[in-house]
C-alpha cells in the first residue's frame, strides 16, 4: 500500500493538493450563492416544481420529460414559501453536493482506502462535480445522492435498502438504471452460493418494487398502473417527435469526442485508472465499478452534455483510488508528482473560468429579467420563444399551457406548433427580429415591444 509517513514526498504533495482543492471549492460555493445561476434546465425543473407545490398542479398533468422525484426535491423550497425562493434551491443543491462528498468518503473508508487517498480523492470528487455544471440546477446530483447511498448499502449487504435507493435514483432520472450493469457483475462475481445470490437479488427487487408502488399511490393514483409504468420508463418521451432534440441524440460523434477531450483536460484524475490497469484484480468490487463505468458511458449515446459526466465521476475515482492504493507510489513518485500537479493546475484554471462565466451569465440573465419585467407583469401566462427557460423562474412567469406546452425549450419545434397550443389570452415573447412570423398570424395581437423582445397576445 505504500509508505504513508508524513515525510514521504508523495504524501506531502497529496496533502498539499488536497488542501489546495478545498481552497478552490470554497469560492465556488460562495459565488454560487452570490450569483445563483440556475441554468436553462433549472428554469424548466423549478417551474414544474413551483406549479406542483404552489398551484397544486398534479405532476402528471404537466409536460415533463423526466421522472419527477429530483425535480420535486430541488424545488422543495417552493413548498416552504409562496414567493420565488430559487436562491434556496441553489443552497439545497450545494447541501446535496456536500452530502454526496460525505457518502463518497464513506465508501472509500468502507473499502479500506488509506486515509490520505480518501481525502485526496474526495476533494477531487467534489471539485469535479461542482465544475461539470454542478452549481446549476441539474438532476444528476440527486441521482448520485441516491446511487452512492445504494452503493454504500450494497457494500454492507443491505440489498433491500439498496434496491429502494436505486428506485429513488431511477425515479429522479431514467438513466440511473445503468447502475444495474455494475450490480449484476457484483452479484455474479460474489462468492456466495447460488441460493444466497438469488435471495440477495430477490431482496433488491422487492426494495425497488415497494418504493415504486409507494410513489404510484402518492403521486399517480389517478393513472392506470400500466400507464404509470409506461411513463416511468420514458415511453411517452421516446414516442415524442422531438425526442432527438430533447436528448441531443442528433449530435455527431466528433462533437462527443471534442467534449470528452475537454473533460479529460478538466478532470484527468477521473481517467487515471487506465494507467493502472496492469495492477487491476477483478473481484466483485472492481467488477461493479467497471460495470458502472461501462453502463453510464452508454448514457452518452443520447447526449454529451457536461452534466452527464457527473454520473461518470464517482465510479472512475473509486476505481482509481483502489488501484493507486494497491500499486503504491514509492516507485514512481516523480511521475505522480507531475500528473497530480498538472491535474491541479488544470482544475484551478477551469475553476477561475467557471466562476467568471457564472458572474457574466447571471448578470446577463438579470438584465434580460429587467427587460422582460418592463413588458410582462409577474404571474403572466407566457411562452418564452426568445429567452432561456430560466426566465420562467427569474421573471416569475407561468406556462401558456401547462398540459401541452409546459416549460419546453423553444428550439424543439417550429414556432407554429407553440402558437397552436397556447391558451387564449396567453402571451408569447419572441426576439424582435422574429416578430414577423407571429405578426402574420391573425389570432395574435402585438401588446408590447422593446429593442430586444416583442410580446403578442393570443386572442
What pLDDT was estimated at residue 239?
59
pLDDT at residue 426, rounded to an integer: 93
pLDDT of 302 > 80? The answer is: no
Domain map (residue ranges) of the chain: 9-35+66-358, 379-458
Nearest one of 206, 177, 203, 191 to 291, comparing CA atoms: 177
pLDDT score for 5: 46
| pLDDT, tens digit, 9 for 90 and up, residues 43-60 | 999 999 999 999 888 888
pTM for this one?
0.91
Cα→Cα distances 418→65, 193, 407, 422, 430, Å:
17, 58, 11, 6, 12
Mean of pLDDT over the chain: 87
pLDDT of residue 2: 47
Which has the higher per-residue pLDDT, 152 or 442?
152
Q: Single out the residue of 302, 193, 295 nearest to residue 244, CA to CA.
A: 302
Question: Residue 87, exposed/middle/buried by CB under 10 A (0-12, 13-18, 19+)?
Answer: middle
Collapsed DSSP state (helix, strand, coil) of residue 28: helix
The mean per-residue pLDDT over the stretch 3-29 comes to 79
Q: What pLDDT score was predicted for residue 200?
A: 96
Interval 199-244: pLDDT, tens: 999 999 999 999 999 999 988 878 888 888 888 887 765 555 444 4
Amino acid at each position: 500500500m505504500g509508505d504513508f509517513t508524513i515525510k514521504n514526498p508523495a504524501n506531502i504533495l497529496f496533502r498539499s493538493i488536497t488542501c489546495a482543492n478545498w481552497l478552490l471549492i470554497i469560492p465556488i460555493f460562495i459565488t454560487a450563492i452570490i450569483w445563483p445561476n440556475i441554468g436553462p434546465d433549472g428554469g424548466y425543473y423549478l417551474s414544474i416544481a413551483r406549479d406542483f407545490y404552489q398551484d397544486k398542479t398534479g405532476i402528471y398533468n404537466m409536460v415533463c420529460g423526466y421522472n419527477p422525484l429530483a425535480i420535486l426535491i430541488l424545488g422543495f423550497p417552493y413548498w416552504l414559501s409562496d414567493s420565488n425562493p430559487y436562491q434556496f434551491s441553489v443552497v439545497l443543491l450545494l447541501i446535496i453536493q456536500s452530502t454526496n462528498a460525505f457518502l463518497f468518503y464513506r465508501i472509500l473508508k468502507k473499502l479500506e482506502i488509506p486515509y490520505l487517498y480518501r481525502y485526496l480523492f474526495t476533494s477531487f470528487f467534489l471539485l469535479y462535480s461542482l465544475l461539470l455544471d454542478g452549481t446549476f440546477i441539474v438532476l444528476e446530483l440527486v441521482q448520485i445522492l441516491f446511487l452512492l447511498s445504494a452503493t454504500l448499502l450494497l457494500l454492507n449487504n443491505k440489498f433491500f435498502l439498496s434496491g429502494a435507493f436505486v428506485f429513488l435514483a431511477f425515479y429522479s432520472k431514467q438513466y440511473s438504471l445503468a447502475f444495474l450493469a455494475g450490480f449484476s457483475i457484483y452479484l455474479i462475481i460474489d462468492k456466495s452460493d447460488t441460493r444466497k445470490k438469488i435471495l440477495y437479488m430477490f431482496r433488491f427487487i422487492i426494495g425497488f418494487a415497494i418504493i415504486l408502488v409507494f410513489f404510484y399511490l402518492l403521486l399517480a393514483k389517478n393513472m392506470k398502473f400500466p400507464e404509470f409504468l409506461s411513463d416511468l420508463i420514458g415511453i411517452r418521451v421516446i414516442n415524442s417527435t422531438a425526442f432527438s432534440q430533447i436528448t441531443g441524440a442528433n449530435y455527431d460523434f466528433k462533437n462527443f469526442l471534442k467534449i470528452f477531450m475537454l473533460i479529460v483536460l478538466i478532470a484527468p484524475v477521473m481517467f487515471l485508472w487506465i494507467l493502472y490497469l496492469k495492477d487491476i484484480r477483478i473481484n466483485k468490487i472492481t467488477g461493479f465499478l467497471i460495470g458502472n463505468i461501462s453502463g453510464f458511458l452508454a448514457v452518452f449515446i443520447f447526449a454529451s452534455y457536461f452534466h452527464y459526466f457527473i454520473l461518470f465521476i464517482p465510479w472512475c475515482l473509486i476505481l482509481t483510488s483502489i488501484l493507486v492504493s494497491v500499486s503504491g507510489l514509492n516507485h514512481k513518485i516523480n511521475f505522480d508528482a507531475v500528473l497530480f500537479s498538472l491535474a491541479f493546475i488544470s482544475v484551478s484554471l477551469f475553476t477561475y473560468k467557471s466562476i467568471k462565466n457564472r458572474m457574466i451569465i447571471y448578470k446577463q440573465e438579470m438584465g434580460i429579467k429587467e427587460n422582460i419585467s418592463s413588458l410582462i407583469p409577474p404571474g403572466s401566462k407566457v411562452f418564452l420563444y426568445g429567452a432561456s427557460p430560466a426566465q420562467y423562474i427569474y421573471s416569475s412567469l407561468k406556462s401558456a399551457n401547462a398540459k401541452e406546452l409546459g416549460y419546453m425549450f423553444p428550439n424543439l419545434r417550429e414556432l407554429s406548433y407553440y402558437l397552436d397550443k397556447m391558451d387564449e389570452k396567453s402571451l408569447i415573447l419572441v426576439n424582435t427580429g422574429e416578430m414577423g412570423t407571429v405578426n402574420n398570424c391573425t389570432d395574435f395581437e402585438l401588446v408590447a415591444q422593446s429593442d430586444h423582445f416583442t410580446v403578442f397576445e393570443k386572442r
